[in-house]
Amino acid sequence: MRVNHIALAEQLLGCALDYGPPSGGKIIAYGPCPGAHLHTTPSGPKHFRMIFDPEGHEMPHEHCFHSSCQGERDAFIRSLIRAIRAAERAENGGKPLPRPQNTPRPAAPAPRPEKPTFSRELAYQVAATCPRDITEELLRRLSPIEIPPDRHRWPELLIDTLFQPGERILVFTNMRSQGQYLRVAGRGNYRLATRPGEHATPCTHLPDRGPEGVWYLCAPVTGTWLPNPNNLDPATRQPRPGRRHAECCHRFPFAVLESDTLSPRIWLQILGILRDRIAAIYTSGSKSVHTLLHLPGCATTAEFNRHRQELLRRLVPVGADPAAITPVRLTRLPGALRLNKTEPDGSPALQRLLYLNPDPQPHQPLHTMPCLR
Q: What per-residue confidence (pLDDT) applies to 249?
A: 95
Q: What per-residue confidence (pLDDT) applies to 253?
A: 97
What angle (nearest 5°) sits at the alpha carbon of residue 98, between those of residues 95 and 101?
Answer: 155
Kind plus residue range of the DSSP H or E element containing 147 = none
279-330 pLDDT, tens digit per residue, is 999 999 998 999 999 999 999 999 999 999 999 999 999 999 999 999 999 9
Question: Is residue 83 exposed (0-12), middle (13-18) or buried (19+ Cβ within 10 Å)?
Answer: middle
Q: What per-residue confidence (pLDDT) applies to 110?
A: 63
Beta bridge partners of 168: 184, 221
Contact call for residues 181 and 207 (beta carbons, < 8 A): yes
Domain 120-368 is found in CATH 3.30.70.1790:
yes
182-210 pLDDT, tens digit per residue, is 999 999 999 999 989 899 999 999 999 99
What are the residue ranges of CATH 3.30.70.1790 in the chain? Answer: 120-368
* pLDDT at residue 125 tops 80: yes
26-51 pLDDT, tens digit per residue, is 888 889 999 888 887 788 888 888 98
Mean pLDDT of 327-341: 97
Residues 97-104: contacts with CB within 8 Å, 24+ apart?
none
220-238 pLDDT, tens digit per residue, is 999 999 998 888 887 787 8
- Which of 2-16, 289-303, 325-339 has the weakest average pLDDT? 2-16
Give the residue from 332, 336, 308 showing the smallest Cα distance to 322. Answer: 308
* pLDDT at residue 162 tops 90: yes
Q: What per-residue confidence (pLDDT) applies to 361?
A: 94
53-83 pLDDT, tens digit per residue, is 888 778 888 888 887 888 888 889 888 988 8
* pLDDT at residue 2 tops 80: no
Q: What percent of the chain has pLDDT over 70?
A: 93
What angle (nearest 5°) sits at the alpha carbon of residue 309, between those of residues 303 and 311?
Answer: 105
Mean pLDDT of 2-16: 84
349-358 pLDDT, tens digit per residue, is 999 999 999 9
d(CA 351, CA 290): 10
Percent helix, strand, coil in the chain, to 5, is 25, 20, 50
Q: What per-residue confidence (pLDDT) applies to 40?
A: 79
Give the residue from 138, 164, 147, 356 showing the smallest Cα distance to 268. Answer: 138
Across the chain, what does the average pLDDT equal? 90
Contact call for residues 25 and 50 (beta carbons, < 8 A): no
* Residue bearing the bigger pLDDT, 273 or 231: 273
d(CA 136, CA 283): 10
φ/ψ of residue 63, rounded to 5: -150, 145
What is the chain's alpha carbon radius of gyration, rounded to the nearest angstrom?
Answer: 26
